[in-house]
């Protein structure tokens, strides 16, 4: 377990033992075989790809585009994006829906990603984890940071495992991703299924592995489409989510952040733990976001709508210093970027 994992588990149990307002913030550190479903979703396998195609083909009026943009499309095409599912019991859009395949693998039908149902108890260095998944052949590989985070069921309390019950015998520990930490090839991102956090660690450290089989690659000319007709919003073509382009530079408590987003109008809300991670940019830091799309974003912490599932007084945030996730008490003040 990484240092962040230890701090999160400690925070969860400490909160259970005493009042949330008296706790210090955590410390940062670098259904059946034919169709086993945990909550029906309106999307079927491959729908993420078709949605992306439709969005790319029908950009809304008022979108900021230029001839230079169009000429650059071929070199800036974005591939392998997917719709981010939310846990089926979270009451949010795109509820996860799982199907057990004939070969025993499990497909999450919102994202279109297919996963190993069980994992070996053997731990591997990150480089060896990459090789292990590639050796399965047929397109199997180690998941990206965002792909693996899509499996986190943040409605399950520590010590987990924070994953749907269809993934039986999942050890509640850290799992490698293929995503390297920006500017440091000695580190790579991992996801802890004891609590549900994302963080990076030394690649030589041994962690567990769950391989993924992505659907057929779908590319869109550009990922983000900025519209000035709605007060400045950004449509993410790959996920279908619409974001505030610029944020209120005021910081809010968790409850006040939810009130602020709801006041923007119908559909606007604070993003979930997994949704907010979709705009983390893995190839930059301070802040870990595309500043050409989201200007004036501070390299600081942003609230999510996701509470600590133990119900004892904490909520998740994403830090845009470098893109990790963590828990803190809801009376702290952080930034918020609303989503529709």
The total of other beta-carbon atoms located within 10 Å of residue 64's CB is: 11
Q: Which of 4, 3, 1 is nearest to 197 (CA)?
A: 4
pLDDT at 230: 72
Whether the predicted pLDDT of 166 surpasses 80:
yes
- Residues 20-29: pLDDT tens digits? 333 333 333 3
- When pLDDT is cut at 50, 70 and 90, the band that residue 182 belongs to is very high
- Verify cis geometry, omega within 30 degrees of 0, for the bond prior to 39: no
pLDDT band at 285 (very low <50, low <70, confident <90, very high): very high
Is residue 300 scored above 80 in pLDDT?
A: yes
* Cα end-to-end distance, the chain, whole Å: 35
For residue 76, the model assigns a pLDDT of 66
pLDDT of residue 99: 98
Mean pLDDT, residues 188-192: 98
Average the pLDDT over 274-290 and give the result. 97
pLDDT (mean) for 184-191: 96
Nearest CA-CA partner of 11 in 330, 320, 258: 330
pLDDT, position 164: 98
- Average pLDDT, stretch 266-285? 97
pLDDT digits 0-9 by tens, 10-62: 444 344 433 333 333 333 333 333 333 333 333 333 444 343 344 433 333 33
- pLDDT digits over 64-109, tens only? 333 334 334 444 688 989 999 999 999 999 999 999 999 999 999 9
Q: Domains in the chain, please, with CATH?
A: 47-213 (3.10.100), 241-328 (no CATH)
Tokens of 198: 């994302």
Of 1, 81, 277, 324, the closest CA to residue 181 belongs to 324
Query: Whole-angstrom Cα distance, residue 10 to residue 24?
Result: 12
Higher pLDDT among residues 58 and 132, named by residue:
132
pTM: 0.81
206-215 pLDDT tens trace: 999 999 999 9
């Amino acid at each position: 377990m990484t240092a962040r994992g230890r701090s999160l588990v400690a925070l969860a149990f400490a909160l259970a033992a005493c009042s949330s307002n008296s706790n210090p913030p955590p410390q940062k550190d670098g259904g059946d075989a034919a169709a086993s479903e945990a909550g029906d979703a309106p999307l079927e396998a491959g729908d993420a790809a078709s949605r992306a195609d439709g969005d790319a083909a029908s950009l809304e009026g008022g979108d900021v585009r230029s001839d230079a943009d169009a000429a650059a499309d071929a070199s800036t095409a974005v591939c392998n994006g997917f719709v981010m599912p939310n846990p089926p019991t979270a009451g949010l859009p795109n509820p996860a829906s799982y199907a057990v395949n004939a070969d025993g693998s499990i497909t999450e039908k919102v994202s279109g990603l297919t996963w190993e149902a069980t994992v070996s108890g053997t731990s591997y260095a990150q480089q060896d984890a990459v090789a292990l998944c590639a050796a399965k052949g047929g397109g199997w590989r180690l998941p990206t940071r965002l792909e693996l985070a899509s499996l986190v069921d943040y409605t399950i309390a520590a010590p987990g495992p924070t994953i749907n019950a269809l993934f039986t015998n999942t050890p509640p520990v850290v799992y490698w991703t293929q995503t390297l930490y920006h500017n440091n090839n000695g580190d790579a991102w991992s996801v802890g299924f004891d609590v549900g956090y994302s963080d990076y660690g030394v690649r030589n450290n041994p962690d567990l592995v769950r391989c993924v089989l992505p659907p057929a690659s779908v590319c869109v000319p550009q990922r983000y489409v900025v519209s000035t007709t709605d007060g400045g919003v950004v449509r993410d073509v790959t996920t279908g989510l619409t974001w505030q382009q610029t944020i209120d530079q005021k910081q809010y408590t968790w409850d006040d952040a939810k009130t602020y987003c709801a006041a923007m109008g119908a559909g606007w809300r604070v993003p979930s733990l997994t949704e907010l991670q979709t705009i983390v940019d893995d190839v930059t830091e301070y802040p870990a976001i595309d500043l050409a799309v989201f200007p004036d974003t501070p390299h600081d912490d942003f609230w999510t709508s996701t509470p600590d599932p133990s119900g004892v007084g904490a909520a998740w945030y994403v830090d845009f210093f470098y893109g990790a996730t963590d828990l803190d008490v809801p009376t702290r003040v952080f930034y918020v970027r609303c989503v529709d």
